[in-house]
Structure 1
Amino acid sequence: MKPTFNTFVFVFLFVFSISSCNKEDIFVEEIEEVIAEEEPVNKEDASSEVTIDPTAPCDFNFSDAVANSTIIINCVMDLGNQTINLPENVTIVYEGGDIINGSLNFSSNSIISGQLLNSSLTIGGTKPQLKDANFVFDPERWGIVEGKVADDVALKNKEILQTVINQAKKLGISVFEIDALDAFFKVDLYRMNRDANARASIRLPEDFHLKMTDKTFLRVQPNPAPFYTLLSTFLVDNVTITGGNLIGDRYEHDYSSVFDEHGVNRDTHEWGSLLYIIGTENIVVEDVFFSNPSGDGIMLHEETFRQADGTLYPGKKETNNALIKNCVVSGARRNGISFLDGRNIVIDNCIIKDTGNGSQAYNNTGTKIYSSTGVEPRFGIDLEAIRYRNDDGTLRQTALNEDITIKNSTFENNHDGDVLLYTCNDVVIENNNFDSWIGNIAAYNITIRHNNFKARVNNGKSYPRAIHITQRKDPFGDEMNFNYNIYGNKIAGYQNGISFSGEDFNVYNNEVLDCEAGMWIGNLVDTEIHDNTFTSSKTYSYGLRSRGGSSKNVSVYNETYNVNYRPIDFQGYNTNSTGYLKIYDCTFNSANSGNTIYLKNANYIEFSKITSNVKMELISSNNILKIN
């Protein structure tokens, strides 16, 4: 028996108009539908679906558009090189189609899907709102040519990407996404100038997030120029760069002799960078892989040189509040990261490796031949601000690096060293893994703490040193290296653990293992060395050593040294001393009781409460006090 149904009445009232790519769907009017009785279902009709071909021409044009309407683009709308003026409150929605070959002039309160933007469509009139907060860049849609290309194509690639970035920014886009892309960009130039570098590069605007993926490869077009920058931020703030691979031309670069546009010889070819951050505040660079620039992976700088006291000239900008996190910088020819000027900068959880490697070649006259081989300084990170002394002795700080933190990072196989504290102040280096060393030129207010140093081995020989801080005085006798706190570090397998000279050092709670020498001291003023331990089974291992050097208000206490040779070995120490070196409450042992605490030409040392299994040997040494 056939079931019976009650009668249902459905009334649909549409108070808005909807436009689509098919004329019969442009307007949907008020509909009244009455269903008196269920009809048998035709299974064949139910399974059939209408297939829309998004590459087919649209069968309507924008002349049909009315105010307050929505136009769905699931076909190809060819504007025929015309400019179309749209009414107000129009929404154009992407559903797989395209709008090409012309211009759309929008009126107020209009919206367009970002997917519809392309290289042949010009947007004019009142700026429309983009339907989606993020813009997804489609390389094919915009005419990017991927793979190896000629210079003119690589230049066109750069111009296209820059144009789209600029257009997206003007339309209010703050997140610019790139997924699968592998293309070369011509960004080289022959002028050493921050502004020029930025203009030749792919430049990011302010309040902008460039979001890339592991499938994104932006490559420098191989070139013979002395300078290039692949990606830059120039005098813009609030920038985020995430993901992606930025690749230099180190092994394809032409290193032939070259002059810049001013006739200056630039044969070193050392100024090719992958990211140049210039006068930018509030920038985050995260999860980016940098590799093989002819110069540096990342450079940070201010807009222009500072005034003599280190303050900015009125209206000029510095790089401030920068975070570089979870990045890899690999195979840079010069430095992995160069700090030329900046404040409040953090390097966090990065890997910096294989910087500056290769053996320098020379011609038959001893002149360097420049090639893909590394070029000085060849450090993982170089903090090198330009500053110098005036004739009257005052410091001229035309650049500065201060309030820098380098933490949680790994340094591997960097040619000349891991971190160079060239000219900087207020720097914290903590919780990193090193396989070479931290060095200095003129730096102050430095903290090196809780790092792990494990020496790499080159040609069967351990790396020479882990931490090496040298003394440097200016022409007026003032020390340029002072106020160092070095503590909580673990150092293993080096020829020498920690060596240092300067003023106002506090070196404590460090553990040094299996080095040839635990600690070297030079000229020191106002320094405390305490609670360090040194253990080594190397045949000729020393605890505390010095060759020359002097002390003024220096104390060594609560130290524990267990070595195979001499626990203390001072030669030529304190020959011109102005005060005693005080050593107390320490343990100095040797595995061979026939060895000694060895003092030759050493003077003004006071020992008290010393525990040792070896005797003290004095040769031409004076004013050695032993107090128990």
Structure 2
Amino acid sequence: MVPGLIIVCGSINVTVDSVYLTDATGDAFIFGASNGFRYREQNKSYNKNVVLKNSVLNASRRNNISITDGEHLIVENCTIKNAGNGNNIYDSNDNKIVSSAGIAPKVGVDIEPFRGYDSNGNFINFEIVDDVIIRGCTFTSNNISSFINYSGKNVIFENNFSDHNVGASYDDGTKFLNNTLVASEKNRSTSGISLGTFILDVYGVPTQLSKYSQAIGNTIEGFEKGIQVKGDNSIVKDNVIKDFNYGIELKAANYALIENNTLESNKASSHGITHRGDSGKDIKFTNVNIKVPRTPIYFSNFNKTTSNTLIFDACTFESEQGYDVFFEDTDNVTIKNSLFTNTAIKQSNCINFIEYGNTYN
């Protein structure tokens, strides 16, 4: 196990309140496994009902908080900052000198139970993280990310402030709710929220293991991309996205519902919703309001080999520079009951392209 200032493992009904943890050589706080991995028959004790609250976790060399095993875990009202910072030092022969510089993953909170295979190729949850709430926390100046959920289940990230990106992949049921994400100058090239993807060959069948993620009620400002939508069965709803280059980007997204979002940016190169290079299935946009200098919508090579649908209903599109709402090599598109201001639809090599009930200003 990675060295930690406080490690809670195999424990039930634990509360850690009002601690200050700083300058850990590894992690500041670990929710960990007990006596080896949980899958072993002899290891039946694991974390349940553990709370960390009202605390400061600062300047850990690795992660400020790692969550690798447990159920019903809460982190609330904490300040989580400066994880994984510092530069490596090298000698004259370009060999790295041992120092206090950060080491991967360099994240504010990292949820990463170990999943893998036994010697017979059977999938095993060596560790399990299920039912986690991260709420009311402030994340600043963490190196790679404020928060990553990699393979946790039923995780809620709500009412937090972050100056860096947050995301999930290899996950099941992550919810990003009512957070305020404002990119620092250093972090403007990242995505505000990433709903992840993880496609694995399961008995010869490519299988998407990232599913049922949600981004609801968030305010996202100043990132290169506001929200990346990937994985299966995502919901993106009631978000306000500002000051971006790309408001929402779809990539390998299937069965997504995107509704009641506002995308507005004054950056000269801003685009609203984009999709490039990866197919997807059955995406519906409802009441999405876009005002950007350039392209409100750009879809390329989407649904080209499938019978799945791409629907825009009751949306508003405005381009300050007069760029088109553009589709190419994208089939089975319906745009209806929508308002176009200083923009119009342009499509190229699209089959079964339907529009009706739209208004053009």
Relative to structure 2, which stretch is displaced further, 597-606 or 356-365? 356-365
- The answer to whether 1:490 aligns with 2:219 is yes
Query: Matches of 1:475 and 1:386 in 2, distance apart?
Result: 18
8 Å contact 2:60–2:82 — kept in the other structure?
Answer: yes
Name which of 251, 269, 282 aligns with 1:553: 282
Give the Å deviation of 1:607.
1.3
Q: Which has the higher helix share?
A: 1
Relative to structure 2, which stretch is displaced further, 494-503 or 547-556? 547-556
What SS class does the counterpart of residue 38 from structure 2 fall into? coil
Give matches, 1:151-550, under 5 Å: 271-303=2-34, 304-307=36-39, 313-314=41-42, 316-361=44-89, 368-389=96-117, 395-458=123-186, 462-476=188-202, 477-550=206-279
What SS class does the counterpart of residue 482 from structure 1 fall into? coil
Give the Å deviation of 1:591.
1.5
The RMSD of aligned alpha carbons is 2.0
Query: Matches of 1:358 and 1:496 in 2, distance apart?
Result: 26
Cα gap change, 1:346 to 1:571, in 2 (>3 Å): same
8 Å contact 2:38–2:46 — kept in the other structure?
Answer: no
Instruction: Detail structure 1 runs of 4+ shifted over 4 Å in the superposition.
Output: 361-369, 389-394
What SS class does the counterpart of residue 200 from structure 2 fall into? coil
- The answer to whether 1:616 aligns with 2:348 is no
Residues 265-318 of structure 1 show CA distances to partners (whole Å, capped at 9, x for unaligned) of xxxxxx3311111211111111100000111000111212122xxxx7356311
Computing the radius of gyration from Cα coordinates, the structure with the larger value is 1
Give the Å deviation of 1:363.
5.8
8 Å contact 2:62–2:105 — kept in the other structure?
Answer: yes
8 Å contact 2:195–2:213 — kept in the other structure?
Answer: no
Query: Matches of 1:365 and 1:602 in 2, distance apart?
Result: 53
Match of 1:342, as an amino acid?
G
Match of 1:320, as an amino acid?
K
Structure with bigger RCO (C-alpha 8 Å, 6+ apart): 2
Query: Matches of 1:350 and 1:343 in 2, distance apart?
Result: 20
8 Å contact 1:584–1:609 — kept in the other structure?
Answer: yes
Match of 1:599, as an amino acid?
F
Residues 451-506 of structure 1 show CA distances to partners (whole Å, capped at 9, x for unaligned) of 00011112xx7242111123211112221100112100011111110002111111
8 Å contact 1:551–1:581 — kept in the other structure?
Answer: no
Match of 1:617, as an amino acid?
K
Residues 373-394 of structure 1 show CA distances to partners (whole Å, capped at 9, x for unaligned) of 1000000000010112458875
Query: Matches of 2:229 and 2:323 in 1, distance apart?
Result: 25
Cα gap change, 1:615 to 1:392, in 2 (>3 Å): farther
Match of 1:274, as an amino acid?
L
Residues 564-614 of structure 1 show CA distances to partners (whole Å, capped at 9, x for unaligned) of 11111223333333412111111111122x211122333332211221121
8 Å contact 1:542–1:563 — kept in the other structure?
Answer: yes
8 Å contact 2:279–2:301 — kept in the other structure?
Answer: no
Q: Which has the higher strand share?
A: 2
8 Å contact 1:500–1:520 — kept in the other structure?
Answer: yes
Query: Matches of 2:244 and 2:210 in 1, distance apart?
Result: 25
Cα gap change, 1:473 to 1:363, in 2 (>3 Å): farther
Give the Å deviation of 1:368.
4.7
8 Å contact 1:497–1:518 — kept in the other structure?
Answer: yes
Query: Matches of 1:391 and 1:522 in 2, distance apart?
Result: 34
Q: Give the alignment's TM-score, normalised by structure 1.
A: 0.54
Residues 123-163 of structure 1 show CA distances to partners (whole Å, capped at 9, x for unaligned) of xxxxxxxxxxxxxxxxxxxxxxxxxxxxxxxxxxxxxxxxx
Give the Å deviation of 1:616.
1.6
Identical aligned pairs, as a percentage?
26
Query: Matches of 2:211 and 2:337 in 1, distance apart?
Result: 29
8 Å contact 1:551–1:580 — kept in the other structure?
Answer: no
8 Å contact 1:327–1:349 — kept in the other structure?
Answer: yes
Equivalenced residues, count: 352
Match of 1:558, as an amino acid?
N
8 Å contact 1:551–1:578 — kept in the other structure?
Answer: no
Cα gap change, 1:327 to 1:600, in 2 (>3 Å): same
Give the Å deviation of 1:553.
2.5
Give the Å deviation of 1:510.
0.5
Match of 2:354, as an amino acid?
L
Give 5+ residue unaligned stretches, structure 1: 1-191, 193-270
8 Å contact 1:436–1:463 — kept in the other structure?
Answer: no
Give matches, 1:592-603, under 5 Å: 592=321, 594-603=322-331
Query: Matches of 1:367 and 1:618 in 2, distance apart?
Result: 55
What SS class does the counterpart of residue 207 from structure 2 fall into? coil
1:94 corresponds to: none
1:170 corresponds to: none
